[in-house]
Amino acid sequence: MAIVEVTIIPMGMGTSVSQYVANCHKVLENETAVKHMLSPMGTILEGDLDDIFQTVRKLHEVPFESGVMRVNTTIRIDDRRDKSASMEQKLHSVQSKLK
């Protein structure tokens, strides 16, 4: 299972992008089955890599549907194949070392 961080930035639309982020999360909630988590700097997706790529493609289109003419999308992939990993497991691993 892959864990992917995606950041979608509408270009030339001012300094606030929260409405575009909210629109992307509405797509995640209503149109995809990919597990996701909002973070202050992007969105984390978890699941099958092919499903995630399809989801990223959908999300990339969301700002265009609102009239944006240029979108910059960045993805970072953590695809571990030696053992199962999840968003929660990765957080728990670090948190357990803080005690």
pLDDT, tens digit, for every residue of 29-69?
999 999 999 999 999 999 999 999 999 999 999 999 999 99
Q: Domains in the chain, ordered, with CATH?
A: 2-97 (3.30.70.930)
- Of the chain, the percentage scoring pLDDT greater than 70 comes to 100
CA count, 13 A, side-chain hemisphere, 25: 13
pTM confidence score: 0.91
State phi, psi for 10 to the nearest 5 degrees. Answer: -75, 130
User: 3-15 as b/e, with b when 16 or more CB fall inside 10 Å?
Assistant: bbbbebbbeebee
β pairing state of 2-10 and 42-47: antiparallel
Mean pLDDT computed over 74-82 = 95
